[in-house]
């Protein structure tokens, strides 16, 4: 890792020794980062980044999007070709334990089983799990397209799919020593398709809710908490948020059908839409998730802090904090973090803006 840039050092000043963990936990219980897991040859650099840059900012939650980037023993056929070893993961576990950071692994479930022209690992190995086998991946991807293909989904009613997924989830949670698991479940465009012999004609909200409950109940047996993205629980037409940040596929009613102890990750990247209030009013714990635009992210941070102070005593605990998202590789993100030329529109700049704002609020008289 290169030495911290002047911009980084100035950012760290806001989280001074006067900032006590207990005060921060009251101000904002979850101060997190969600990022793809590093590749094996970058684990040591990532460990140093956690220790040198996340811990001083009082980041206390790290979600690693692992998917099949691990050397699974339960289903070795699902391993990526360049996957993390157990020893690699334990390095991450050790530094997070030392720095008081909650480490949560993620596997994208239900949706995001393909991307553009490439099939994901699960459906590559088990094509029979595909919700839409008649939709073929194109040689050149374009949106929009006649098949309304964004990403493939697995069929949640396939009788074998959870026999594969649950052992993999358990193994990943075990090696990460995690008491929570992030299941993704965002941007699901294929669900309850008429041509699916199992899902066709079924209520999509019930299908989505049933899959959430199934995963939730499995995790609950070992006292693990389920985290998911919240977009499929918002009506995209009523709110005007559209079919990406919310749902056009009638899944929004699932919000009243899933367990209330699911943690909701509410993402909005260009505007500070206050949908976290909606989730809190429904009785869910919620974190707000920015990406690369610092101005709305700072507003979202201020909103979260204000809601924790000014809403009813019942609702205040539901506003749990901020989760910075990163949608480039871990390797690219670390390069951004070590660059001497700040970029005003990337995840690293946004992360600094969020945690600088948290630091200012925590030290304000």
Region of 214 please: left (phi>0), alpha (psi -120 to 50) or beta. alpha
Give the bridge partners for 92, in sequence order. none
**pLDDT attached to residue 22:** 67
Q: Is 29 in a helix, a strand, or coil?
A: coil
The rounded distance, in Å, linking the Cα atoms of 57 and 362 is: 12
The rounded distance, in Å, linking the Cα atoms of 284 and 276 is: 9
Question: Phi, psi (5° rounding) for residue 86?
Answer: -60, -40
**pLDDT attached to residue 14:** 44
pTM, full prediction:
0.94
Residue 46 near residue 334 (C-beta atoms within 8 A):
yes
**pLDDT attached to residue 288:** 98
Q: Give the side-chain half-sphere CA count within 13 A for 14.
A: 19
Residue 280 near residue 311 (C-beta atoms within 8 A):
yes
Tokens at residue 31, please? 């101060």
The rounded distance, in Å, linking the Cα atoms of 254 and 216 is: 14
Report in angstroms the alpha-carbon separations of 8 from 42, 77, 101, 262, 326: 21, 42, 20, 34, 18
Helices of type H across the chain: 6-13, 21-27, 43-49, 86-98, 121-125, 161-175, 204-220, 236-239, 242-245, 275-281, 294-310, 330-338, 347-363
In 3D space, the residue among 104, 101, 105 whose CA is nearest the CA of residue 52 turns out to be: 101
The rounded distance, in Å, linking the Cα atoms of 37 and 30 is: 20
- What is the pLDDT tens value at each position of the chain, 365 positions in all? 444 444 444 344 345 444 566 689 999 999 999 999 999 999 999 999 999 999 999 999 999 999 999 999 999 999 999 999 999 999 999 999 999 999 999 999 999 999 999 999 999 999 999 999 999 999 999 999 999 999 999 999 999 999 999 999 999 999 999 999 999 999 999 999 999 999 999 999 999 999 999 999 999 999 999 999 999 999 999 999 999 999 999 999 999 999 999 999 999 999 999 999 999 999 999 999 999 999 999 999 999 999 999 999 999 999 999 999 999 999 999 999 998 777 888 999 999 999 999 999 988 76
- The DSSP 8-state label assigned to residue 241 in this structure reads -
The rounded distance, in Å, linking the Cα atoms of 217 and 225 is: 9
* Tokens 């040689």, residue located: 139
* Tokens 């806001």, residue located: 14
DSSP labels, 174-217: HHTT-SEEEEE--S----S-TT-TTTTTS-HHHHHHHHHHHHHH
Tokens at residue 24, please? 């921060």
Region of 51 please: left (phi>0), alpha (psi -120 to 50) or beta. alpha
**pLDDT attached to residue 21:** 64
Report in angstroms the alpha-carbon separations of 34 from 26, 202, 225, 288, 364: 21, 33, 16, 12, 27
- Give long-range contacts, CB 8 A cutoff, 24+ apart: 346-350: 346/292, 347/291, 347/292, 349/292, 349/294, 350/290, 350/291, 350/292, 350/293, 350/294, 350/297, 350/324
Four-residue CA torsion sign, 190, 203, 262, 158? negative
């Amino acid at each position: 890792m290169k030495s911290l840039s002047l911009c980084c050092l100035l950012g760290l000043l806001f989280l001074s020794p006067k900032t006590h963990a207990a005060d921060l936990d009251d101000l904002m219980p979850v101060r997190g980062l969600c990022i793809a897991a590093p590749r094996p040859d970058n684990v040591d650099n990532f460990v140093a980044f956690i220790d040198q840059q996340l811990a001083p900012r009082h980041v206390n939650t790290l979600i690693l999007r692992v998917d099949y980037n691990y050397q699974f023993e339960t289903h070795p056929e699902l391993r990526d070709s360049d996957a993390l070893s157990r020893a690699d993961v334990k390095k991450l576990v050790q530094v997070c334990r030392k720095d008081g950071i909650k480490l949560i692994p993620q596997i994208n479930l239900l949706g995001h089983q393909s991307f553009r022209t490439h099939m994901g690992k699960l459906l590559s190995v088990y094509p029979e799990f595909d919700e839409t086998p008649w939709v073929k991946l194109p040689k050149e991807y374009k949106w929009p397209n006649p098949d309304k293909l964004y990403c493939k989904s697995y069929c949640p009613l396939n009788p074998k799919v959870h026999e594969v997924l649950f052992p993999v989830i358990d193994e990943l949670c075990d090696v990460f020593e995690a008491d929570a698991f992030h299941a993704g479940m965002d941007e699901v465009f294929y669900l309850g398709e008429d041509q699916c012999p199992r899902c066709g004609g079924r209520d999509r909200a019930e299908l989505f809710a049933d899959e959430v409950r199934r995963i939730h109940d499995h995790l609950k047996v070992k006292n693990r908490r389920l985290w998911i993205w919240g977009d499929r629980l918002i009506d995209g037409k009523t709110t005007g948020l559209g079919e990406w940040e919310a749902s056009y596929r009638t899944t929004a009613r699932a919000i009243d059908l899933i367990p209330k102890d699911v943690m909701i990750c509410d993402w909005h990247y260009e505007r500070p839409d206050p949908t976290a209030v909606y989730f809190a009013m429904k009785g869910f714990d919620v974190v707000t998730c920015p990406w690369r635009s610092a101005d709305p992210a700072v507003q979202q941070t201020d909103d979260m802090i204000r809601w924790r102070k000014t809403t009813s005593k019942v609702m205040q605990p539901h506003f749990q904090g901020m989760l910075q998202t990163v949608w480039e590789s871990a390797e690219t993100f670390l390069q951004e973090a070590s660059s001497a030329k700040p970029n005003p529109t990337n995840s690293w700049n946004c992360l600094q803006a969020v945690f600088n704002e948290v630091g200012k609020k925590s030290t304000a008289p």
